Amino acid sequence: MEIQENHTIWMQKAIACAQEGSTPFGALILNQQSEFVSAFNSTKKDGPTAHAEMNVLQKLKQLDYQSKNELVLYTTVEPCPMCMGGILWAGIGKIVYGASIEEVSKIIKQIKIDSHTLANKSWYQPEIIGDVLKAECLALFEGWN
Protein backbone atom coordinates (compact mmCIF):
# COMPACT_ATOMS: atom_id res chain seq x y z
CA MET A 1 0.00 0.00 0.00
CA GLU A 2 1.39 3.37 -0.96
CA ILE A 3 1.29 5.69 1.99
CA GLN A 4 -0.33 8.45 -0.01
CA GLU A 5 -3.23 6.14 -0.79
CA ASN A 6 -3.97 5.86 2.91
CA HIS A 7 -6.52 8.62 2.77
CA THR A 8 -7.96 8.14 6.24
CA ILE A 9 -4.67 8.81 8.00
CA TRP A 10 -4.02 11.97 6.02
CA MET A 11 -7.56 13.20 6.44
CA GLN A 12 -7.13 12.78 10.20
CA LYS A 13 -4.17 15.16 9.95
CA ALA A 14 -6.27 17.65 7.98
CA ILE A 15 -8.95 17.40 10.68
CA ALA A 16 -6.33 17.98 13.39
CA CYS A 17 -5.15 21.03 11.48
CA ALA A 18 -8.72 22.39 11.30
CA GLN A 19 -9.08 21.85 15.05
CA GLU A 20 -5.77 23.61 15.69
CA GLY A 21 -7.21 26.68 13.96
CA SER A 22 -10.59 26.39 15.71
CA THR A 23 -12.34 26.21 12.32
CA PRO A 24 -13.95 23.35 10.36
CA PHE A 25 -11.46 23.89 7.54
CA GLY A 26 -8.06 22.20 7.41
CA ALA A 27 -5.97 21.21 4.39
CA LEU A 28 -2.62 19.64 3.61
CA ILE A 29 -0.59 18.90 0.51
CA LEU A 30 1.35 15.64 0.48
CA ASN A 31 4.33 14.73 -1.69
CA GLN A 32 5.61 11.31 -2.80
CA GLN A 33 7.98 11.14 0.19
CA SER A 34 5.12 11.54 2.70
CA GLU A 35 6.22 15.07 3.51
CA PHE A 36 3.48 17.65 3.75
CA VAL A 37 2.55 21.26 4.36
CA SER A 38 -0.72 22.16 6.09
CA ALA A 39 -2.91 25.15 6.84
CA PHE A 40 -6.26 26.06 8.35
CA ASN A 41 -8.80 28.72 7.45
CA SER A 42 -7.63 32.12 8.72
CA THR A 43 -10.24 34.46 7.24
CA LYS A 44 -10.89 36.21 10.57
CA LYS A 45 -7.25 37.27 10.70
CA ASP A 46 -6.18 37.42 7.06
CA GLY A 47 -9.29 38.39 5.11
CA PRO A 48 -11.98 36.69 3.03
CA THR A 49 -9.75 34.71 0.67
CA ALA A 50 -7.69 33.00 3.40
CA HIS A 51 -9.38 29.61 3.08
CA ALA A 52 -7.42 26.55 4.19
CA GLU A 53 -6.72 25.43 0.62
CA MET A 54 -5.56 28.87 -0.54
CA ASN A 55 -3.35 29.12 2.54
CA VAL A 56 -1.76 25.73 1.97
CA LEU A 57 -1.15 26.51 -1.72
CA GLN A 58 0.95 29.44 -0.50
CA LYS A 59 3.25 26.92 1.19
CA LEU A 60 3.94 24.85 -1.95
CA LYS A 61 7.47 26.25 -2.17
CA GLN A 62 8.33 24.49 1.09
CA LEU A 63 7.60 21.08 -0.43
CA ASP A 64 9.88 18.95 -2.64
CA TYR A 65 8.35 17.59 -5.83
CA GLN A 66 9.24 17.06 -9.46
CA SER A 67 5.79 17.81 -10.83
CA LYS A 68 2.81 19.25 -8.99
CA ASN A 69 0.79 16.53 -10.66
CA GLU A 70 2.31 14.04 -8.18
CA LEU A 71 0.99 16.00 -5.18
CA VAL A 72 -2.21 15.17 -3.27
CA LEU A 73 -4.30 17.82 -1.51
CA TYR A 74 -6.42 16.72 1.45
CA THR A 75 -9.13 19.03 2.71
CA THR A 76 -11.86 18.59 5.30
CA VAL A 77 -14.42 20.27 3.01
CA GLU A 78 -14.70 20.01 -0.77
CA PRO A 79 -12.93 23.05 -2.24
CA CYS A 80 -15.16 26.00 -3.12
CA PRO A 81 -14.77 27.42 -6.65
CA MET A 82 -12.12 29.90 -5.46
CA CYS A 83 -10.03 27.15 -3.89
CA MET A 84 -10.67 24.62 -6.64
CA GLY A 85 -9.65 27.24 -9.17
CA GLY A 86 -6.42 27.77 -7.23
CA ILE A 87 -5.82 24.02 -7.06
CA LEU A 88 -6.30 23.73 -10.85
CA TRP A 89 -4.01 26.69 -11.58
CA ALA A 90 -1.41 25.06 -9.30
CA GLY A 91 -1.69 21.77 -11.21
CA ILE A 92 -2.28 19.50 -8.20
CA GLY A 93 -2.83 15.90 -9.36
CA LYS A 94 -5.27 14.57 -6.80
CA ILE A 95 -7.80 16.06 -4.38
CA VAL A 96 -9.28 14.18 -1.44
CA TYR A 97 -12.06 15.84 0.54
CA GLY A 98 -14.27 15.00 3.51
CA ALA A 99 -17.64 16.80 3.45
CA SER A 100 -19.10 17.90 0.11
CA ILE A 101 -20.08 21.44 -0.86
CA GLU A 102 -23.65 20.20 -1.20
CA GLU A 103 -23.71 19.03 2.41
CA VAL A 104 -21.84 22.00 3.83
CA SER A 105 -24.03 24.51 1.99
CA LYS A 106 -26.89 23.40 4.26
CA ILE A 107 -24.88 24.80 7.18
CA ILE A 108 -23.02 27.83 5.78
CA LYS A 109 -23.24 30.12 2.77
CA GLN A 110 -21.49 28.70 -0.25
CA ILE A 111 -20.90 29.14 -3.95
CA LYS A 112 -22.77 26.05 -5.05
CA ILE A 113 -20.54 24.77 -7.82
CA ASP A 114 -18.75 21.53 -7.00
CA SER A 115 -15.13 20.63 -7.65
CA HIS A 116 -15.95 18.17 -10.45
CA THR A 117 -17.76 20.87 -12.43
CA LEU A 118 -14.75 23.16 -12.22
CA ALA A 119 -12.33 20.38 -13.17
CA ASN A 120 -14.48 19.42 -16.14
CA LYS A 121 -14.26 22.99 -17.44
CA SER A 122 -10.48 23.23 -17.10
CA TRP A 123 -7.59 22.09 -19.29
CA TYR A 124 -6.81 19.03 -17.15
CA GLN A 125 -8.79 16.75 -14.87
CA PRO A 126 -7.23 15.93 -11.51
CA GLU A 127 -8.47 12.86 -9.68
CA ILE A 128 -11.10 13.80 -7.08
CA ILE A 129 -12.10 11.56 -4.18
CA GLY A 130 -14.83 12.60 -1.74
CA ASP A 131 -16.52 11.47 1.47
CA VAL A 132 -13.33 10.46 3.29
CA LEU A 133 -14.16 10.70 7.02
CA LYS A 134 -17.22 12.70 6.01
CA ALA A 135 -18.99 12.39 9.38
CA GLU A 136 -15.88 13.50 11.26
CA CYS A 137 -15.46 16.46 8.91
CA LEU A 138 -19.11 17.51 9.26
CA ALA A 139 -18.76 17.25 13.04
CA LEU A 140 -16.19 20.05 12.88
CA PHE A 141 -19.08 22.44 12.19
CA GLU A 142 -20.80 21.70 15.50
CA GLY A 143 -20.65 24.71 17.75
CA TRP A 144 -18.70 26.71 15.18
CA ASN A 145 -19.66 30.00 13.60
Q: How far is CA 35 from the centre of its chain?
A: 16
**What does the CA dihedral 48, 49, 54, 55 come to, rounded to 10 degrees?**
-50
Q: Which range of residues in 3-11, 28-36, 58-66, 128-136 is near a copy of itself by CB under 8 A? A: 58-66
Burial 5-23 (b: 16+ CB within 10 A, else e): eebeebbebbbebbeebeb
The C-alpha atoms of residue 88 and residue 11 are separated, in whole angstroms, by: 20
Task: Name the segment binding a copy of itself (CB under 8 A); options: 6-14, 25-33, 104-112, 136-144.
Answer: 104-112
Check residue 54 for interaction with a copy of itself (CB under 8 A): yes
Query: Smallest distance from the beta carbon of 57 to a copy of itself, in angstroms?
Result: 6
Active site residue 53: yes
Catalytic residue of the set 20, 53, 127, 142:
53
Distance in angstroms (rounded) separating the CA atoms of residues 103 and 32:
31
CB of 47 to a copy of itself, least distance (A): 6
Contact residues toward a copy of itself (CB under 8 A) are 43, 47-49, 51, 54, 57-58, 60-61, 80-86, 88-91, 109-113, 117-118, 121-123
What residues are annotated to the active site?
A: 53
